[in-house]
Amino acid sequence: MSSEPTLLEMQQIEKRFPGVHALKAVDFDLHAGEVHVLLGENGAGKSTLMKVLCGTESRDSGQIIIRGEPTDDLTPKQAQELGIGMVFQELSLVPALSVAENILIGRLPRRSFGMIDWSQANDIARENLARLGVTHIDPHTPVRQLNVAEQQLTEIARVLSRDCQILLLDEPTSALSETEVDRLFETIQRLREQAVGIIYISHRLDEVARIGQRVTVMRDGAVVGTMPVEAADRDTVVQLMVGHKPGEQRADAQRRTGPSLLRIENLTVQDHLYQLTLELHQGEILGIFGLMGAGQTELADALFGLLPHESGAIFIDNQPVQIDHPGDAVAAGIGYLTRDRRGSLIPVQPIAPNVTLPLIGGLPLLRSLNLRDERSAANKYIQDLQVRPPDLNRSVRYLSGGNQQKVLLARWMHSGARILIFDEPTRGIDVGAKAEVFALMRRLANDGIGIIMISSEIPEVLSMSDRILVMRDGRFKAEYASEKPTQAELLHSASYATEQVS
């Protein structure tokens, strides 16, 4: 790789926010045709480094040299002109605009007389989605009608349509299914062949060897190592990330589950779920695994009253309950961390009220609370989940992506709900903090809470669940209780292809 020309060199980059030294003399470079993976714990400074490069944050000092030319502080427009494109960790689409408008924002094609050429715009949008293998998204659709994965794909298509030479991807796969990830990786491979350089941030360590050529690890704002991917085995990388040998992720396998807490019988949701029956016990962590679109999220939505069910019955403590909207679910003691997190935090508020605000329909309700109670309750979770910086007065909008996720988790853990539904709870959370999340979930279960954990990460499902249900096509296809399946078995029972042979 080192024979390839250097596209980018960042030297001694410094950045301070009030109270946080976010980047400490960071050196980083990128060659044409390589994927340089950037790793680090939540809050290590990865996103900030990328924002400095694409001009949405200014640097305090340091040099950025692009194709041999030093640059002054970049504006986002200058960065674009230099061929730098970024897919942000937090999606940056405009919900009210269509997919095509979002992809081509600021450069919609025009006919003579300045009229926008909509048919060309839609064609360009369709073409760039097709590069990702996406054919099911209509470019006319308003972005607010898309699910998180579709939004993430639209965001990636937007950057691809710009023909960048330096592509920054900040956790692009956090909401994607296996097949969607495969397609993205194929696209990345093609871009490499066209000498594009790619900086790739992820918390999914298994992606590193699949996609990367070099790996850089950051810790507390500084680079602690750069190495070829062959040298970046999991142990080495994790040790660099956390600064010590990591603890085992596996929580204690001793399960002692209690009586029935939640039971659903023959739950049917039009076009999504067919005659689902399940039971969740006190103290149990029930894992639900399925490929994207298998119905997991619809099941959670239906249980929380966000999606009406056609037929079927729900019982809590063996008593029938009627759940028609989220208020009913909250009153029945159900908490739900949705897949789509936007809108559930109050960004301008500090951490403490974001953890302790009472929830109505899954949304926090503003009301005055006893401040001292609020702080001590919040503090406990902030410490346990290692929210950084552990400053309860800090506005949530200034936290890194993973730390915002921890605040959301803390809120549901604190909510007093007896039944917790977590959809992809560890998305965006680093390896070290994942172990803490699992330990906390286990502790809640030991206190008698029942947890339904929806996850597309196989190792997470396998290590955390007392029991696993596999979904496919809106139905339960397999159950694994005491005998844990292998990764391959789990994937097999979740896959469509397997049954359709002949």
Ligand X SMILES: Nc1ncnc2c1ncn2[C@@H]1O[C@H](COP(=O)(O)OP(=O)(O)OP(=O)(O)O)[C@@H](O)[C@H]1O
Q: Which residues bind ligand X (CB under 6 A)?
A: 17, 20, 22, 40, 42-48, 89, 388-389, 398-403
Q: Record the tokens describing residue 368, joined without a space.
A: 């005055």
Do 473 and 500 form a contact (C-beta atoms < 8 A)?
no
Q: Report the nearest approach of ligand X to the CB of residue 415 (Å).
A: 23
Do 391 and 397 form a contact (C-beta atoms < 8 A)?
no
In whole angstroms, give the CA distance from residue 464 to residue 226: 32
Nearer to ligand X, 220 or 473 (CB): 220
Q: Report the nearest approach of ligand X to the CB of residue 436 (Å).
A: 14
In whole angstroms, give the CA distance from residue 295 to residue 270: 11
Phi, psi of 479 (to 5 degrees): -135, 135
Nearer to ligand X, 141 or 249 (CB): 249
Q: Report the nearest approach of ligand X to the CB of residue 248 (Å).
A: 22
List the single partner that 42 binds among Mg ion, ligand X, none, CB under 5 to 8 Å by kind. Answer: ligand X
Q: Report the nearest approach of Mg ion to the CB of residue 454 (Å).
A: 23
Nearer to ligand X, 56 or 268 (CB): 56
In whole angstroms, give the CA distance from residue 391 to residue 127: 46
Q: Which residue is nearest to Mg ion (CB)?
A: 47
Do 33 and 196 form a contact (C-beta atoms < 8 A)?
yes
Q: Which residue is nearest to ligand X (CB)?
A: 402
**Does residue 40 bind Mg ion (CB under 5 A)?**
no
Nearer to ligand X, 20 or 288 (CB): 20
Q: Report the nearest approach of Mg ion to the CB of residue 90 (Å).
A: 9
Binding mask 65-94 for Mg ion (x = CB under 5 A): ------------------------x-----
Do 365 and 358 form a contact (C-beta atoms < 8 A)?
yes
User: Which amino acid is residue 148, in one-letter code?
Assistant: V
Q: What is the 3-state secondary structure (H, E, C) of 426-443?
A: CCCCCHHHHHHHHHHHHH
Nearer to ligand X, 409 or 468 (CB): 409
Residues 389-408 binding Mg ion (CB under 5 A) are 400-401
Q: Report the nearest approach of ligand X to the CB of residue 47 (Å).
A: 3
Of 47, 154, 403, 426, the one binding Mg ion (CB under 5 A) is 47
Q: Report the nearest approach of Mg ion to the CB of residue 463 (Å).
A: 25
In 345-449, which ranges are continuous DSSP H helix? 351-356, 371-384, 401-414, 431-446
End-to-end Cα spacing for the chain: 45
What is the DSSP secondary-structure string of 215-237? EEEEETTEEEEEEEGGG--HHHH
In the complex, the residues that contact Mg ion under the rule CB under 5 A are: 47, 89, 400-401
